[in-house]
C-alpha cells in the first residue's frame, strides 16, 4: 500500500486563483496533495478560512499569498492543532490604515462602473516588478485571471479586507515551522512589513526575500519561491513544537 501524501493548501490572494500558484502546484504535486481553495463570493476573512478548512484533512501544511496569508493566519487561529506548517508570502499584519478604505473603494467603483478590464489596467501593473509590466506574454495569464472575476466578487473581497480580524491571536498561535517571504520589489507589501512579522515572532522561522519579484512573487519568481517552500516543507514538524 502506498503512503498517503501530505496535504498542502495554497491560499490565493485578492482576485487571485491557482494561476498565481501554478508553478508551486506543479512542483509539489509529486510529493503532496496540493489544493487551491476558491472563496467564491465570501465577504469575510473568517468565512474564507472556513472554506479552506472544509477542504482540509485533520493535518495539513498551509501557505498563503497576500490576502491568502491573512486567511491562512485565520485558519491557524481557528484550528492550530491541524496546521503542521505555515508560510505567509507578500502580506501584512497591520490593521486598516486611515487612507486604505477610500483607496480600495475607488477601485471597487472603477470595477463596477467600467468593468474588470479597466480594473485590471489600474490595479495589476503595480503588483509586479516594474520590468515585467510591459511584458504581454508574462502579464496575459494574470490579466485573464482578473478579468474572469466579477465586480461583485471583488467588492466582497475588499469588504473582507476592510473588516479583517486582528492577527495578534493567530501570530501567538504559531508553534510550527514558519516561512515569511516577500518579493524584493513588492511595492504593495514591502519588505519592512515582513521584517515586522519576523520580529513579532521573536525571530522564529525564516525570512526570505525573493529577488527580482514584486507582490506576485509565487508567479514572478517561481524557482526562488519553490526553493524556499521546499526547504520549509522538509522541516520536521517536531522541530518547532514546544
Task: Please tell me the number of Cα atoms within 13 Å of 139 on its side-chain side.
Answer: 19
Which pLDDT does position 76 carry in this prediction?
A: 95
pLDDT of residue 4: 84
Contact partners, residue 141, CB within 8 Å, separation at least 6: 19, 219
pLDDT in tens, 64-75: 999 999 999 999
Query: What is the per-residue pLDDT for 168?
Result: 84
pLDDT exceeds 90 at position 172: no
Q: What ranges do the domains of the chain cover?
A: 7-97+164-240, 100-157
In the predicted structure, residue 63 carries a pLDDT above the cut 50: yes
pLDDT at position 77 is 93
**The predicted structure's pLDDT at residue 242:** 40
Say what the pLDDT of residue 55 is: 80
pLDDT given at position 239 = 45
pLDDT of residue 114: 98
d(CA 235, CA 179): 11
- Read off the pLDDT band of 2 (50, 70, 90): low
pLDDT higher at 198 or 169: 198
Tell me the average pLDDT across 79-87.
Answer: 96
At the topology level, CATH places domain 7-97+164-240 in Rossmann fold (3.40.50)
Cα–Cα nearest to 93, from 224, 21, 195, 15: 195
- The Cα-based distances of 23 to 60, 110, 195 in angstroms read 20, 31, 26
DSSP, collapsed to helix, strand or coil, labels residue 179 as strand
Mean pLDDT, residues 159-175: 90
pLDDT, tens digit, for every residue of 14-44? 999 999 999 999 999 999 999 999 999 999 9
- pLDDT-wise least confident of 2-6, 133-137, 170-174, 207-211: 2-6
> What pLDDT is attached to residue 173?
78
> What pLDDT score was predicted for residue 1?
46
- The pTM score is 0.95
Amino acid at each position: 500500500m502506498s503512503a498517503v501524501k501530505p496535504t498542502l493548501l495554497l491560499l490565493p490572494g485578492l482576485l487571485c486563483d491557482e494561476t498565481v500558484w501554478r508553478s508551486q502546484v506543479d512542483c509539489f504535486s509529486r510529493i503532496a496533495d496540493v489544493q487551491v481553495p476558491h472563496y467564491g463570493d465570501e465577504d469575510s476573512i473568517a468565512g474564507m478560512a472556513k472554506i479552506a478548512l472544509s477542504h482540509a484533512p485533520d493535518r495539513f501544511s498551509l501557505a498563503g499569498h497576500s490576502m491568502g496569508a491573512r486567511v491562512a493566519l485565520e485558519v491557524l487561529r481557528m484550528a492550530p492543532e491541524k496546521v503542521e506548517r505555515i508560510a505567509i508570502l507578500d502580506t501584512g499584519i497591520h490593521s486598516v490604515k486611515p487612507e486604505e478604505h477610500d483607496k480600495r473603494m475607488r477601485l471597487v467603483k472603477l470595477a463596477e462602473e467600467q468593468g474588470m478590464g479597466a480594473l485590471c489596467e489600474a490595479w495589476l501593473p503595480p503588483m509586479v516588478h516594474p520590468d515585467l509590466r510591459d511584458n504581454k506574454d508574462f502579464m496575459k495569464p494574470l490579466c485573464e485571471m482578473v478579468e474572469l472575476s466579477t465586480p461583485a466578487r471583488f467588492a466582497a473581497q475588499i469588504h473582507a479586507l476592510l473588516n479583517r480580524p486582528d492577527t495578534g491571536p493567530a501570530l501567538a498561535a504559531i508553534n510550527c515551522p514558519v516561512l515569511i517571504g516577500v518579493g524584493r520589489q513588492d511595492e504593495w507589501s514591502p519588505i519592512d512589513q515582513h521584517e515586522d512579522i519576523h520580529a513579532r515572532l521573536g525571530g522564529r522561522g525564516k525570512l526570505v526575500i525573493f529577488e527580482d519579484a514584486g507582490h506576485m512573487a509565487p508567479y514572478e519568481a517561481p524557482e526562488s519561491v519553490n526553493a524556499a517552500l521546499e526547504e520549509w516543507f522538509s522541516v520536521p514538524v517536531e522541530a518547532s513544537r514546544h
